[in-house]
Structure 1
Amino acid sequence: MKGWGKWIGALIGFSVFNFFGGVLGFIIGSMFDARTSVEWDERFTGSTNYTGKQAYQRSSTGDFAASLLVLTAAVMKADGKVVKSELEYVKKFYIGQFGAEKTRIQMQALRDLLNEPIDVRSIGHSIRYQMQYHSRLQLLHYLFGIAQADGSISTTEVNEIRRISGYLGINSPDFDSIKAMFIRETGGDFKILEISTDANNDEIKSAYRKMAKKYHPDKVASLGDDVRKQAEEKFRMVQEAYENLKKARGFS
């Protein structure tokens, strides 16, 4: 039975609360496996050389559910402070997925993580090999949303998200595209469409079709309503960037 708890938890969570319910079940199941792991070693070796917390870290390495929570904490404390608006952003997102009671458990785990050192590199690599690319792009959008929750995105937050993005295997044009959706700057519409400022009209049209397909909300429809809403917002920004360039260039 060793190691089965997280999968049983994920199965129950998925059957009741969809994909993100499975994520929550995976976290809770991993905690169960951690305790069981310590008991297992004590039973068969007579001792254990690690604490329950260390056992949890050991058993949950590579678990996407725990990894998602860890990346949330990494971005929240990137600028050296954790503000209420960021906590509320995360809380609102999780309530939409899990409900109030299960979100309470998540938020407590998050508060604990905010006081711990975080190995973003190993977590990012773990998610990279467990998650499809379009879902990783949506994860990046979520992380930028956390950073923006207090009304502005600091350079340290951008750098932390950029670092995470690299570990997630997200290419630079995609990172710059999503960043441009949150931080408006000269040439931002071109960056959103991932083209240079000297692109011709046909290249702009082609880029729009490509980006509309890449960011279509249907790609993440299985991840729940809140994730889909974020995807719809990203899709809307792609459309807006295209309309801005059409107007500026005078083509239809």
Structure 2
Amino acid sequence: MHALQFSGQSSSNGILERDFTLGDVPGVLWSPATRSGERAPLVLMAHGGGNHKKHPAMSGRAKLLVTGCGFHVAVLDAPGHGDRPRTAHDEAEIAEMFRARAAGEPEGPVIVRYNAHLAERAVPEYQAALDALQQLAEIGTEGPVGFWGLNMGTAIGVPLVAAEPRVTAAVFGQHWPDVLTQKARQITVPIEFDMQWDDEHIPREAGLALFDAFASKEKTLHANSGKHKELPRFEADSAVRFFARHLARPNASLS
């Protein structure tokens, strides 16, 4: 297993931001700037397609979780994204997506196929990152872990949560069911699921089918009017309340 290597850090508004690498995979860890002497829950996040670990959506959600709940938040650059080079396969799939878009053809089949390929690479990377992050004294191996990822983040997160018993609550949404349905049926932890009722890319029936596939006894559907990129900002606040409800608990003192 690769060791976690911190490569830089900064602190602002009560948040400590630490860049790290795990092997050749870059990531970022946001934590409370002031150590309380107690361990705190960890939320893993995955960014959307075409974005990166420090995209405003990631840093904004991390700020809410750190300042509002005192949690730690970690994000990895997905394969072919952020500071990671693209392979020839990445370039070919991205070119095909843009070709379909220019021709007025549905992009979904290309995105689903490409995201499944990325997930095969990203899931073991997230598991290795979780192993390494839990070795930090301020996180530890006994604390609860959550996962938050929409769009491509859901494509990575569903197979990750299905395979990873350490994740005990998750927020997903805005993805086609297709290759995710079987994995969703293996997930029983509490779920909050976001979808856009007027999504121009993901048919309403497709979003509902993925939500329905989760085997969780507690799962909540948040359907908002609007197109794919019009997910209301208040859904981030709802997700933070969801994680606070399911992850927050008395923390063990650091030894």
- Fold shared per TM-score above 0.5: no
Instruction: Normalising by structure 1, report the TM-score.
Output: 0.33
Higher Cα Rg, which structure: 1
Higher helix share: 1
Higher strand proportion, which one? 2
